[in-house]
Amino acid sequence: MGDALSTGLAGLDAQLGGGVPPGSVHLLLGEPMNALELFTYHFAASSPKSGIKSQFVTTSAQEEQIKSGIQAIGGDPGKATVTSLAGAKQWTLPNPQSGHRYVLDSFSEYAIHAGWDKGYERLVELRGKVREGDGNLLITAVPQLHNDREIAILKLWADGVLELGFDRQGFGLYPYLKVTKMRGVPDSARFLLFKETERGLFMESTRRVF
C-alpha cells in the first residue's frame, strides 16, 4: 500500500503495511480513558501531507487542552486547528478541508446532544467530503453509550474499526488495540498490545491472534 498515510503510531503502521488509505474513515471504540485521548493526539499529529493542518473537533475539552496533549506526545500543536464545542449552544461540525486529517472526539457525546439520527446523517456527509478530498476521518465512540444496533451501523459506516480494551491474564491487565476491519488492507485483523509512556502510546509491532 504505497500511498498509505501514517496513523502516528509506528507499531500500528507496521501492522497495516504503512498506515491507512487516503480517503478513509475510521471508528475508534473504547471506554473514556487516557489511551482513547492519546490515540487521537497521535492521529492528529501525523498530518497526511506536509504543510497541511489536521482538524480536531472536541465535544468536551478546550482548545489549549488538545494542543497541550498533541505537544506532550511529541507533535506540533501549531499544525492542528481545534474546534471546541464545549459550552456552545449549538453544536455545528465544520466541514473537512481537502487533504486534511479530521478527528471528532467524541461522536457519542455529539449523538447525545444532536440525537442519533441527526448525528449519523452528519457522519455520512462528513464521510463523503473526506473521500472526495482524499483526507482521513477518525471518530471516537463509547460502546456503553450506544445500543447494539447503533454500534453495528457505525461499524458498517467505517472503513476501519479499531477497539481499545484490556486483556486479563492472571493478576495482570494488559491494554490492547484490536483492528477488526481495515479497507484496502488484506487480512486486516490485528491484535496489538500497547503501553502508555511519557511520550504517548507505544504499540508493539508483533502480530497476535485473537
Task: Convert the pLDDT of each residue in 84-135 to its tens digit.
Answer: 999 888 899 999 999 899 999 999 999 999 999 999 999 999 999 999 988 8
pTM of the model: 0.92
Contact (CB, 8 A) for 177 and 192: yes
CATH topology of domain 22-162: Rossmann fold (3.40.50)
Residue 11 pLDDT greater than 80, yes or no: yes
User: pLDDT tens digits, residue range 46-75?
Assistant: 876 767 889 999 999 999 999 999 999 999
pLDDT at 186 over 80: no
Residues contacting 98, CB < 8 A, separation 6+: 132, 133, 134, 135
CA atoms in the 13 A half-sphere facing the CB of 192? 24
Classify 199 as helix, strand or coil.
coil
